[in-house]
Amino acid sequence: MNQKNSTYHIPVLCDACIEGLDINPEGIYVDVTFGGGGHSRAIFDRLSLKGTLYAIDQDEDAKRNLWDAPNFHFIQSNFSFIQNQLKLRGVFKVNGILADLGVSSHQFDEGNRGFSIRNDGALDMRMNTSANRSAADVLNNCEEEELTSIFQKYGEIKNAKRLSYELVKFRQSNPLKTTQELIAFLKKFAPRFKENRFYAQVFQAIRIEVNQEIKALEDLLGQCEDLIAPGGRLVVLSYHSLEDRLVKNFIKKGNLEGELEKDFFGNPLKSFKEINRKPIVPNEREQAENTRSRSAKLRIAERNDEGK
């Protein structure tokens, strides 16, 4: 990988992710969140020439981190289309899938992308920069009830109803265009001494809505049942409770709702068995070196031989 891109994104819990994949050097692996390529490179380095790595990312900027190899293939796409994308390339089963669901350091640091509360930039927040709907579209055009739902569901904002009501009034004469305009508007709603946390929650809610992140994750998990071969591994890094709850339910209960189903004989109907009962979290050293890893939770599962 090009050295100039080594700080694009520091891969979180990289060693634990690679250990969790239990890599077969001749296997087929998919990193559905390529980003800076850190996790991908670590997977690739453990493959022989008979092994293959597919890397997926919808962000155009991720292409700057690619490398040339006959057994490395990049797919520019949302990972919710993973199954179709792989079928187009003649791949129907894989030995492992890795998903690092966090926003990359690069996306946060690029002020003009609109992800960060610290930088001023357009209210964009699109991971796929060719997508039609931006953060400004959501904030300036959504109905009050929809905004309340977005803030409550995706940001866990306690005063979501009041926030939405005031936002709809405000935007009639002051449509929001930049991140710092949004921060200025949010100031009177932020709890004292917890301002930055509040701003981050609002930004998270808008970003999830813009990119339909929860639906994309649900789609990905559903396709993993068909894609991952018996004995293959699913490795997922999540960064907030909404994502982690879905991943936890899927692995532990066999569905997204968290209700364990059983067959006639009382055997659990689930496609995966958990490798780690509790999520793996970064140690103090990694959290100090990479502050964005602090909220990370890693879950690892293995595809059952029998399937569901």
Q: What pLDDT score does 4 carry?
A: 42
CA distances from 45 to 32, 42, 74, 142, 278 (A): 17, 5, 16, 46, 28
Q: Is 70 exposed, middle or buried (0-12, 13-18, 19+ CB in 10 A)?
A: exposed
* Bridge partners, 31 (sequence order): 55, 98
Q: Which pair of structure tokens corresponds to residue 268? A: 């659990």
CA atoms within 13 A on the CB side of 91: 22
**For the ranges 160-164, 281-285, 298-302, which has the lowest average pLDDT?**
281-285
- Note whether 236 and 298 are within 8 A (CB): yes
**Selection from 213, 194, 204 nearest residue 292 by Cα:** 204
Q: What pLDDT score does 9 carry?
A: 62
Which whole number is the average pLDDT over 283-292? 87
pLDDT-derived band at 267, boundaries 50, 70, 90: confident
Element (H or E) spanning 78, and its range? none
CA distances from 138 to 72, 106, 134 (A): 37, 23, 7
Residues 4-58 pLDDT 10s: 444 556 789 999 999 999 999 999 999 999 999 999 999 999 999 999 999 999 9
Residues 46-75 pLDDT 10s: 999 999 999 999 988 899 999 999 999 999
Distance CA 104, CA 76 (A): 16
Residues 106-140 pLDDT 10s: 677 676 788 989 889 999 999 998 899 999 999 99
Which whole number is the average pLDDT over 182-204? 96
- What pTM did the predictor assign? 0.91
- Domains in the chain and their CATH numbers? 3-106+213-303 (3.40.50.150), 111-211 (1.10.150.170)
The SS3 assignment for 131 reads coil
- Note whether 308 and 228 are within 8 A (CB): no
Distance CA 11, CA 9 (A): 6
